[in-house]
Amino acid sequence: MSTLMVLVIVIAIAAAGYFIGRQRAVSKEGGNVKPHSLPHYHGWWVFLASALPAILFIAVWAAGTGVYLERSAIAELPPRTADTVIASQSLELGMVSGIARGLDRLSDAERANLPQTFAELQPLLANKGVALATEGQDYMIPIATEWNRNTAWASRIGGIVAIVLALAGAVFGLSGVHVRARARNNVERVILGALIAASAIAILTTIGIILSMLFQTITFFQSVSPSTFFFGTVWDPRFAAAGSGGSQGQFGLIPLLAGTLYIAFVAMLFAVPVGLFAAIYMAEYASRSVRSVVKPLLEVLAGIPTIVYGFFALVTVGPFLRDLSAALSGGYAFIQAQSVLTAGIVMGVMLIPFVSSLSDDIITAVPGSLRDGSLGLGSTKSETIRRVVLPAALPGIVGALLLTASRAIGETMIVVLAAGVAANLNINPFEAMTTITVKIVNQLTGDLEFNSPQTLVAFALGLTLFFITLAMNIFALYIVRKYREQYE
Amino acid sequence: MTDIALNPAAPASARPARRDIGLKRRYAAERRFKLYGITAIAIGLFFLVALMYSVFSNGYTAFWQTEVNLAINLDPKIIDPDNKRATDPNVLLTANYPILARNALAEKLGVPATNKPAMRELGKLFSEGVRGQLRDLVVANPSLIGTTQSVWVLTGADIDSAFKGQIDLTVDQTRRKVSDQQVEWMNKLKGERAMSQRFNTGLFTYGASSRPETSGLGVALIGSLYMMLIVLCLSLPIGVAASIYLEEYAKKNRLTDIIEVNINNLAAVPSIVFGLLGLAVFINFFHMPRSASLVGGMVLTLMTLPTIIIATRAALRAVPPSIRAAALGVGASKTQMVFHHVLPLAAPGILTGTIIGLAHALGETAPLLLIGMVAFVANSPVTPLDPSTALPVQIYMWANEAERAFVERTSGAIIVLLIFLAVMNITAIILRRRFERRW
C-alpha cells in the first residue's frame, strides 16, 4: 500500500467526517438551547480530529521505519576489512538502496527468476532506468530483496494503523458533537498552533543553517587544524576525485578573505558616492515628477538578477577595461579582463540602488524643522544638507552602508564570472583575485566525494561568511533601529 | 559760509559696504553640489542603459535562427540498406540521416558527389541536429520513406553567425570558422530564398546540448516553472501564517523579539548560504535527489520566506485598528476577525509582496549551483523529482561556453528572464495601484 494511497484514504475519511459532523450539528439545533458553534465548526473539528493524528503518524512512521531499515541493512553488510573494494560504508549502503530501488521496478515474472550475480543484474536494472555503479557485489542482492520485503511490510502495517487512527479520530470527533460543544474554540486552537509552527520555521531555518554548517565544519577541522585554516596564506585544495583517497591540500582562508574584502571595498568605493549623491539629489532637489521617473528606474537596477550583472561584466565591462588599458599603454593590457576592478565596478553598479534607496529613506526621515532652521539662518541648500541633514542622518546612513557592504561580501554570481578563480594575495586591483563565495561554488560543483576536506572546506567557508555577514547585519539593524526611534 | 560746501565723499546717505559672506563662492558650491547629484544619477542610469543595450544588442538575434530549406529524398537505400525495418525498429533510429541532408544540399548546389572535400565542407553547412529532426519525422510516419520531403533544416552555428553578419568575412578564411566556399554557397542559397532566418522555436523547447544551434531553454523553463510553483505553494501559506501570528497574536516578549530579529537577519543572509543549507540538510541528510526542482524550490522557499513575511506584516499593519475593533465588537472571535476581516483587506499588499519575492527567487542562481542544478539535462523533466536546470543557471552554464553563438544564446536567455521579471514586477505594481487602499 503506497503512502500516497493511505493519505488519500485518510483525507477521504476526514472529509466524510466533516460532512457527517456538520449534518449532526445541524440536526441538533432548534431546541431552546442556543448552539455554541456554527455547524461547520463541528464539521472542521471532526475533520481535524480524524486527519491530524493519522497524518502525523504517517510522517513519523515513514521516517522511523526508514532509519530502522537502513540500520538493519547496515547490520547485514559483511564486516569491513582491509580489502573491501568499496571506499566507505555509506557508499556501500547507497549501492544497496540503488539495487533495492531497481528491484522495485521489475515485473513479478522478472523477480521470480532473479539473477544471483550483480553482473547479470546490472544490465537488467539499467533497462529499467536505474543506473548502478560497477563495483556492486553479489552479496548486496539478498540484502536488497530483504530490504524491499521489509519496506513493504512496514508500509502495510503503517497504512493500516493510520487508517484505524483516522477512523477512531472521526468517531471521537463525532461523539463530541452536541449543541453546547465548544467546537469553534477547538478549531481555533489548532489554527493558532499551525500559525505558531509556521513562525517557528524562521527560527528552524537559522538553527538549520548554523547546525548543518557547524557539523561539517567540525568534521573538516578534524583533518585540517583551525589555525592553518584561519591563518593560512596559501589556498591550494588539490582536488581529489571520488574514492581515490586524495592527497592533502592547503586551505588558507587569508587569500580568499582578502579578495572578498578587496572586491567589496572597490564596489563600495564606487557605489557609496554615486548612491549617496543620487539619494541626496532625489530627496532634496528633485521635483516630484523627476523623482517619480528616476527612482523606479534606479530601482530596476536592484531587480536585475546578479547572474545578468555577472554576464555583463564578463562580456562587456571586462573586455572594455582590458582594451582600454591596452590603448592607454600602447599595446600591453595592464588590466586583466577578470580582475578586482571589473568585479568591483559591476558589483558597485548593483549596489547603487541599495545605497540610494536606503539613504533616501533615512534622509527624508530627518525632520523638516532642522532644515527650516538652517535655511532660516541663511545657509544655502547644499550647506544645510552637508552641515545639518547629513550629520543628523549619519548613524542611519552608516547602518545602511553596513547592510550594503554585507551584501557585497555575500554576492556570488558577479564574482564567479568576473573576479577569476586564482587565489592570489596581491594589492593590484587590475589583477584577478578570488572570493569566499567563488570558492564555495568551486568546491561544491562537480562530482566529489562528500566527506573529503576538499568539499567540507566549503562549509567552513560558508560558516565564516555567515558569521561575518551576521555580525554586520545585527550591528546595522541595531543602528538603523535605534536611529529610527530617535525621530519618531 | 560755512563749509556746507559739502564733502561729497562723506557717506551720510551711502549704505555701508556689504559684509563679504562669499555668496558667489557659496552659490558656486551650491551649483557644484547639485551637479554631483545629477552626475550620480546619470552614472546610475548610464549603467542601466549600458547593461540593457549590451544584453539586447547581443541577444535579440537569438530569437531568429538561420535555416535552410531542403528537398530531402528519404532514400530507403540509405535509411534502411538491408531492408530490415519491419522487424528491427532500431534501424530507423540509427540510420545515417545527415547523409540524406548532405545529398539534398549537394543536389541543390550542384556539387558532384565525387568531390569529397567539397562534400565534407557541405556537411558542415547544416547542423548535426538534422539527425534527430529527420529521425523523428521518419519514426512518426514510416510511410514517408522513399518520398521527397521539403524540410527546413537548422544550419550550423558558424553559418548562422555568418548569415547574421556576426563574423568578419574580410579576414583571411584560415582565421575564421567559415570558409569562402561555404560563404559562397550561403549567398547562393540566400539568393534563391532557400536559406533564411526563421523564428527560433528551438530556443524555448530544446534541452542542453553541446551544439549552440540545438541547445535551448526547454528544460530550464520547466525547472523554473516547477520551482516557482513550489515556492508559491510553500512560502505563501507559511509566510502569511507566520506574519499573522507575529502581528496579531504574539505578545511582545523575548521570544517574539528573537523571531523578529531572526527574520530580519535571514533576509540579509547571503543566498549562497541557503544553498549550503539545502545541500547539507535536504540532500545529504534527507537523501533527496540532486538536481531536482523539488529541492531547488524548497531552498528558494526558505530564501523567499523572510521577504514575504516582512511584506505581509507591513500589509497587516496597514489595516486600521478600527476594523479589528468593529469585528470584535459585533461578536467575532479573534480568529474570525483576522481571517474574515483583516486578511482580505491586507490581501493586495500580501500578493504584491509575494510576487516581488517570487521574482527575486526566479533570478536567484547561487544556491541552485550547490544543490547540483548545473547538470547537463537534455530530456525534459516530467515530475519535480527529475533532474532539471533553472533559467538563471542555464544562463550561467552558457556564459561559461566559449563559442560566439553561445554568447548570443546567453543574451537571448537573459532577455527571456528579464521579460519574465518585468511582467511579474509590473503585475505587482498594477495590483498595488489598483487595490491599495489608503485609510
**DSSP letter string, A147-178:** HHHHHHHHHHHHHHHHHHHHHHHHHHHHHT--
User: How close does chain B come to A186, measured CA to CA in Å?
Assistant: 12
Model confidence band, residue A84 (pLDDT cutoffs 50, 70, 90): low
CA dihedral B50, B53, B58, B61 (to 10 degrees): 180
What's the confidence (pLDDT) of residue A246? Answer: 45
Model confidence band, residue A202 (pLDDT cutoffs 50, 70, 90): confident
> What distance lies between CA A215 and its chain's CA centroid?
17
Q: Which of A391 and A85 is assigned the larger pLDDT?
A: A391
One-letter amino acid identity for B79? Answer: I
* Mean pLDDT to the nearest integer, B243-272: 88
What's the CA gap between A412 and B14, in Å, rounded? 71
Contact A202 B259 (CB under 8 A): yes
* Mean pLDDT to the nearest integer, A229-250: 67
Contact A305 B363 (CB under 8 A): yes
Report the residue of chain B nearest A449, measured CA to CA: B284
- For residue A140, pLDDT over 50 is answered with yes
**pTM more than 0.80:** yes
Joined grid coordinates for residue A215? 557539523
What's the confidence (pLDDT) of residue A486? Answer: 64
- For residue A241, pLDDT over 70 is answered with no
C-beta contacts of B329-334 below 8 A and 24+ residues apart: B333/A184, B333/A188, B334/A188, B334/B248, B334/B249
Q: Can you tell me the ipTM of this complex? A: 0.88
From chain B residues 133-172, the ones with a CB under 8 A of any chain A CB are none
Joined grid coordinates for residue A170? 472521526
Model confidence band, residue B141 (pLDDT cutoffs 50, 70, 90): confident
> What distance lies between CA A345 and its chain's CA centroid?
27
**Distances in Å between the alpha carbon of A434 and those of A232, A421, A459?**
15, 5, 17
Q: Which of B355 and A75 is assigned the larger pLDDT?
A: B355
R_g of chain A computed on alpha carbons? 32
What's the CA gap between A313 and A342, in Å, rounded? 6
Contact A410 B241 (CB under 8 A): no
Q: How many helices (H) and strands (E) does chain A have?
A: 19, 2
The Cβ-side half-sphere exposure at B334, using a 13 Å CA radius, reads: 11
What's the confidence (pLDDT) of residue A82? Answer: 61
What's the confidence (pLDDT) of residue A245? Answer: 45
* Mean pLDDT to the nearest integer, B103-121: 81
Question: What residue ranges do the domains of chain A occupy?
Answer: 3-181, 250-487
- For residue A243, pLDDT over 50 is answered with no
Least confident of A153-162, A422-431, B338-347: A422-431
Whole-number percent of chain A with pLDDT over 90: 40
Report the residue of chain A nearest B52, measured CA to CA: A312
Q: Could you tell me which residues come within 8 angstroms of residue A266 by beta carbon, excluding any fewer than 6 positions away?
A: A340, A341, A343, A344, A345, A347, A348, A429
User: How close does chain A come to B270, measured CA to CA in Å?
Assistant: 5
Model confidence band, residue A331 (pLDDT cutoffs 50, 70, 90): confident
Residue with cell 568575412: B169
* Mean pLDDT to the nearest integer, A346-361: 92
- For residue A481, pLDDT over 80 is answered with no
What's the confidence (pLDDT) of residue B275? Answer: 92
Q: Could you tell me which residues come within 8 angstroms of residue A48 by beta carbon, excluding any fewer than 6 positions away?
A: A14, A173, A186, A187, A190
How many Cβ contacts (< 8 angstroms) between chains A and B? 252
Model confidence band, residue A55 (pLDDT cutoffs 50, 70, 90): very high
**Residue A15 per-residue DSSP state:** H
Report the residue of chain B nearest A437, measured CA to CA: B272
Q: Which of B332 and B186 is assigned the larger pLDDT?
A: B332
Query: Considering the domain A250-487 in this protein, what is its CATH number?
Result: 1.10.3720.10
Cβ atoms A89, A83 nearer than 8 A = no
User: How close does chain A come to B7, measured CA to CA in Å?
Assistant: 37
Model pLDDT for residues A110-119, shown as the tens digit of each residue: 777 777 777 7
Model confidence band, residue A74 (pLDDT cutoffs 50, 70, 90): confident
What's the confidence (pLDDT) of residue B179? Answer: 82
Model pLDDT for residues B78-93, shown as the tens digit of each residue: 777 777 777 777 777 7
Least confident of A245-249, A364-368, A423-427: A245-249
Mutate to test the interface with A, among B21, B257, B276 (most CBs of A within 10 A): B276
Model confidence band, residue A87 (pLDDT cutoffs 50, 70, 90): low
**B405 close to A (CB below 8 A):** no
What's the confidence (pLDDT) of residue A20? Answer: 92
From chain B residues 339-368, the ones with a CB under 8 A of any chain A CB are 359, 362-366
- CB contacts of A202 in chain B (<8 Å) are 242, 259, 262-263, 266, 305-306, 309
Model pLDDT for residues B26-45, shown as the tens digit of each residue: 999 999 999 999 999 999 99
Domains in chain B, please, with CATH? 64-200 (no CATH), 218-435 (1.10.3720.10)
User: How close does chain A come to B307, measured CA to CA in Å?
Assistant: 11
Model pLDDT for residues A311-329, shown as the tens digit of each residue: 999 999 999 999 999 998 8
Which of A196, A281, A417 lies closest to B245 in CB terms?
Answer: A196
Residue with cell 530502522: A68
What's the CA gap between A43 and A25, in Å, rounded? 8
**Residue A337 per-residue DSSP state:** S
Task: Determine the angle formed by the axes of helices A183-223 and A39-76, rounding to 10 degrees.
Answer: 30
Mean pLDDT of chain A: 85
Scanning B95-217, the segments in alpha helix (DSSP H) are 97-109, 116-123, 130-140, 157-163, 180-191, 202-205
Model pLDDT for residues B182-195, shown as the tens digit of each residue: 888 888 888 888 88
User: Rounded to 5 degrees, what angle do the CA atoms B179, B183, B187 make?
Assistant: 170
Model confidence band, residue B13 (pLDDT cutoffs 50, 70, 90): low
R_g of chain B computed on alpha carbons? 34
Model confidence band, residue B364 (pLDDT cutoffs 50, 70, 90): very high
**B4 close to A (CB below 8 A):** no
Residue A83 has phi, psi (to 5 degrees) of: -100, 20
- CB contacts of A380 in chain B (<8 Å) are 26-27, 29-30
- For residue A229, pLDDT over 60 is answered with yes
Model pLDDT for residues A370-421, shown as the tens digit of each residue: 999 999 998 999 999 999 999 988 888 998 899 899 999 999 999 999 888 8
**Distances in Å between the alpha carbon of A143 and those of A12, A98, A156, B14, B110?**
37, 12, 20, 114, 66
Contact A440 B396 (CB under 8 A): no
One-letter amino acid identity for A122? Answer: Q
- CB contacts of A441 in chain B (<8 Å) are 272, 366, 369-370
Least confident of A273-282, B42-51, B164-173, B256-265: B164-173
Residue A38, phi-psi category: left (phi > 0), alpha (psi -120 to 50), beta (remainder): beta
- For residue A263, pLDDT over 90 is answered with yes
- For residue A88, pLDDT over 70 is answered with no
Report the residue of chain A nearest B356, measured CA to CA: A303
What's the confidence (pLDDT) of residue A242? Answer: 45
Q: Could you tell me which residues come within 8 angstroms of residue B345 by beta carbon, excluding any fewer than 6 positions away?
A: B319, B323, B437
Joined grid coordinates for residue B348? 493586495
| Strand ranges, E, within A142-248 | 235-236
- For residue B103, pLDDT over 90 is answered with no
- CB contacts of B262 in chain A (<8 Å) are 202-203, 206
Model confidence band, residue A450 (pLDDT cutoffs 50, 70, 90): low
Cβ atoms B213, B127 nearer than 8 A = yes
Contact B262 A206 (CB under 8 A): yes
- CB contacts of A203 in chain B (<8 Å) are 258-259, 262
Cβ atoms A81, A100 nearer than 8 A = no
Least confident of B15-24, B64-73, B364-373: B15-24
- For residue B75, pLDDT over 50 is answered with yes
What's the CA gap between B374 and B360, in Å, rounded? 19
- CB contacts of B309 in chain A (<8 Å) are 202
User: How close does chain A come to B286, measured CA to CA in Å?
Assistant: 9
Which of A194, A201, A382 lies closest to B33 in CB terms?
Answer: A382
What's the CA gap between B363 and A300, in Å, rounded? 13
Least confident of A91-105, A168-182, B148-162, B223-237: A91-105
Q: Could you tell me which residues come within 8 angstroms of residue B167 by beta carbon, excluding any fewer than 6 positions away?
A: B158, B161, B176, B177, B178, B404
- CB contacts of A356 in chain B (<8 Å) are 44
Report the residue of chain A nearest B375, measured CA to CA: A446
- CB contacts of B374 in chain A (<8 Å) are 445
